[in-house]
Structure 1
Amino acid sequence: MNTTPYNVPEAFDAGADSYDELVGANPGYHEHLRLSARRMELPGGGRGLRLLDIGCGTGASTAALLTAAPHAEIVAVDGSAGMLARARAKDWPAGVSFVQSRAEDLRSCGVHGPFDGILAAYLVRNLPDPDPVLRELRGLLAPNGVFAAHEYSVRDSRRATAIWNAVCWAVIIPAGRIRTGDAALYRYLRRSVTGFDGAMQFRDRLQRNGFIDVRSVSMPGWQSGIVHTFLGRAAA
């Protein structure tokens, strides 16, 4: 399976059936998504808010947004038809809708702002060119709207890099091979994380692409220094 950033949606199509089982075995996976959604500080339980979940996969990040903002309208988008099929098969309130689109093609697929908040979970490092997409997402935000990227970033820390590589070779890659018969996607996952921006570099990237009040907070537990919430806003 070829898993360059240009065909990541197709790679996730192939892994969709086992994806929920695999991430469910990751301690803290769902709680950390909920933590990033809470860190967006969406007011009023989301009443009157319109949110975008970009790169929603099988709906784990969508569920996290619903926990933080149960009364919001949520548009959940993913480029993988297989992952979206898994997401749509779950029970959702009427305010949640799903759209198949690559992050680069949102407007042509009918996804238009303004949004009061955007959550991008495990998306940005998979983009062939993150900057145009980040500028597009910033443009889709309402004035003062909040953007959160829930993302791996280990390059700033030798310890985090070592832990990540050890977990990949000892757990993630073997488990992926057992469940899917093909570990190529999970080898790509390891490489995509080690090659992605360090936390400081990604904060700088967000600022260059027009976000203000940029900051980041790491996750607790063994993923401290490995998974982070990166936050920014659109100018008022």
Structure 2
Amino acid sequence: MARESRGRGDERNPGRWRVRSRRKQARPAGGDRSGYPVLGGFERAAGRYDLLVGFSPGYHGALLRSAARLRLPDGGRGLRLLDAGCGTGASTAALLRVAPHARIVAVDASAAMLRRARRKNWPTTVEFVHACLDELDQAGVRGPFDGVLASYLLRNLPAPERGVRLLRGLLAPGAPLALHEFSVRGRPSSRLVWTVVCWAVIIPLGRVVTGRSGLYRYLWRSVLEFDSVPELVGRMRRNGFHDVRVGAMPGWQRGIVHTVLGRRPPREQN
């Protein structure tokens, strides 16, 4: 994806979009987020994050594939979507590409990443909210949503199982969730490729671009330790999703990055 999709501009400032955003009130931006130990790394890396991922071949295209796999009808017309863990807005842009007529709520726990996202040009149908996944209700973000995209989120949560349940609870009956995630466990060749890419490219480049390497060493290690694809599928099914399936990525990301999709059942017994 070379450019972010754009719609009708702000008449008072034709060159930019207005971004409606709500600041989370339940916990200050500088408050204790000890349950999210990696958050500080994202805060420090936010200023150069877009530059760094720009060096990753296929990064934006993979996000677009996962967003498209939600199979949202009619360009999202009349739908309300959630981008959970939006970071600096790359996944939000992917959702906007596949659903230009939807209303999109993009949330992230990192204030610094959201500041970068808000500086970009967006239609008024996109709203950014600063909040952790388990505090969305206090931030005024409530379901039901007609679809959720969660990109590289579950691996960074302190309790992934609870995260899946929370995401399910935000969905309307029958609505889809797309988990866009790294997963190499149980695949020796994928683990090897991932380790080579990290230590030959990602970690050295991260150190050069940001002056630090801790976040990128964490990235390497956390992916090795995270769920296998069958374990991710199991998490989805165990927490009430049906029609669970997996989508692969092309290029170097094959066997490393996946879309794991599921739907909240259209009818559920009490």
RMSD between superposed Cα atoms in Å: 1.0
State the Cα deviation string for residues 27-78 of structure 1 (Å, max 9, x = none).
0000110011111100000000000000000000000000010000000000
Map 1:174-189 to 2 at 5 A: 174-189=204-219
Which letter does structure 2 place at the counterpart of 1:201? E
Mapped partners of 1:151, 1:5: distance in 2:
20
Structure 1 residue 5: Cα displacement: 6.9
Mapped partners of 2:120, 2:97: distance in 1:
15
Task: Normalising by structure 1, report the TM-score.
Answer: 0.97
1:229/1:163 CA distance change after superposition, 3 Å? same
Instruction: Tell me what 1:106 maps to.
Output: 136
Instruction: Tell me what 1:213 maps to.
Output: 243
Instruction: Tell me what 1:192 maps to.
Output: 222
- Secondary structure of the 2:179 match is strand
Instruction: Tell me what 1:31 maps to.
Output: 61
- Contact 1:54/1:123 (CA < 8 Å) preserved in 2? yes
Mapped partners of 1:154, 1:170: distance in 2:
18
Mapped partners of 2:193, 2:255: distance in 1:
10
Question: For 1:171, which of 201, 206, 224 is the aligned residue?
Answer: 201
Instruction: Tell me what 2:186 maps to.
Output: 156
Map 1:136-151 to 2 at 5 A: 136-151=166-181
State the Cα deviation string for residues 152-196 of structure 1 (Å, max 9, x = none).
000121000000000000000000000111100000000110000
Question: For 2:160, which of 124, 127, 130 is the aligned residue?
Answer: 130
Which letter does structure 2 place at the counterpart of 1:15? A
Larger Rg: 2
Instruction: Tell me what 2:77 maps to.
Output: 47
Instruction: Tell me what 1:84 maps to.
Output: 114
Structure 1 residue 117: Cα displacement: 0.2
- Contact 1:34/1:64 (CA < 8 Å) preserved in 2? yes
State the Cα deviation string for residues 94-122 of structure 1 (Å, max 9, x = none).
10000001112111211100000000000
Mapped partners of 1:194, 1:232: distance in 2:
24
Mapped partners of 1:123, 1:166: distance in 2:
23
Mapped partners of 1:60, 1:199: distance in 2:
23
Question: For 2:41, which of 7, 11, 35 is the aligned residue?
Answer: 11
- Contact 1:5/1:126 (CA < 8 Å) preserved in 2? no
Unmatched 5+ stretches in structure 2: 1-33
Which letter does structure 1 place at the counterpart of 2:119? A
- Contact 1:52/1:75 (CA < 8 Å) preserved in 2? yes
Map 1:60-75 to 2 at 5 A: 60-75=90-105
Unmatched 5+ stretches in structure 1: none
State the Cα deviation string for residues 183-227 of structure 1 (Å, max 9, x = none).
000000001100000000110011111111111111011110000
% identity of equivalent residues: 59
Which letter does structure 2 place at the counterpart of 1:65? L
State the Cα deviation string for residues 116-155 of structure 1 (Å, max 9, x = none).
0000000000111111121111011011000000000001
Q: Which has the higher helix share?
A: 1
